[in-house]
Structures are given as C-alpha cells and as structure tokens.
C-alpha cells in the first residue's frame, strides 16, 4: 500500500512516502479520515501530488501555509513540483 502524508487539514497537496507509478493508488490520512487517491503520473518519493484540482494562479498549501502558486492547472493526483509551481517568497516583483 502506497502512502502519503498531509501536514494540515487546509493542505491541498500530500507528500509521498515512496516512489509511485502512473495510476498507483495512494492512501492519505488526515486526522481520523483515510482517503484513496490515484496518481496521474510517475512521482518520486518526497514529492507532492494534488489532493484537489488546483487552477492556474491558485495557491499551493502545505503545512497549512501558502508555499507557492500554480503556474498551470493541476488535476487531482497530479505531480506538484517546480515545473508547475512558482515561489511567492523573496520576489521583488510581488512586493
């Protein structure tokens, strides 16, 4: 059984605890609730996948905090990483 962790109930991403292949089922526990997700692509250990559809421009939330913004639409189960997320920290153009 593949598993991922969610750090805060506000998170819209989960962090994988092992490598996964396309269409693998991943189980995520949030408090007492466990939910099954199907990943859409091969994703390595430690990377994130979307728990819900995240539209371009929407915030990526991990630890209950905004960690970035989607640069393209990300479907539920999709890989969330530097290819589709931009940081909002330390950017002079956003201040």
Q: What is the CATH number of the domain that holds 84?
A: 2.30.130.110
Residue 28: strand, helix, or coil? strand
Q: Contact at 8 Å (CB) between 37 and 25?
A: yes
Q: Give the whole-angstrom CA distance, residue 37 versus residue 80.
A: 14
Average pLDDT score over residue span 3-16: 96
Residue 30 has a pLDDT of 82
Confidence of residue 60 (pLDDT cuts 50, 70, 90): very high
Number of folded domains that form the chain: 1
Average pLDDT score over residue span 40-64: 98
Confidence of residue 94 (pLDDT cuts 50, 70, 90): low
Q: Give the whole-angstrom CA distance, residue 41 versus residue 77.
A: 8
The boundaries of the domain holding residue 44 are 2-94
Structure pTM? 0.91
């Amino acid at each position: 059984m593949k598993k991922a962790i969610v750090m805060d109930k506000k998170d819209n991403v989960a962090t994988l605890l092992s490598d996964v292949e396309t269409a693998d089922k991943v189980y995520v526990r949030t408090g007492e609730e466990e939910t099954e997700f199907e990943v859409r692509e091969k994703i390595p250990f430690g990377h994130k996948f979307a728990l819900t559809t995240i539209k371009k421009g929407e915030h990526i939330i991990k630890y209950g905090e905004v960690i970035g913004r989607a640069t393209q639409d990300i479907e539920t189960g999709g890989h969330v990483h530097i290819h589709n997320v931009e940081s909002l920290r330390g950017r002079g153009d956003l201040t």
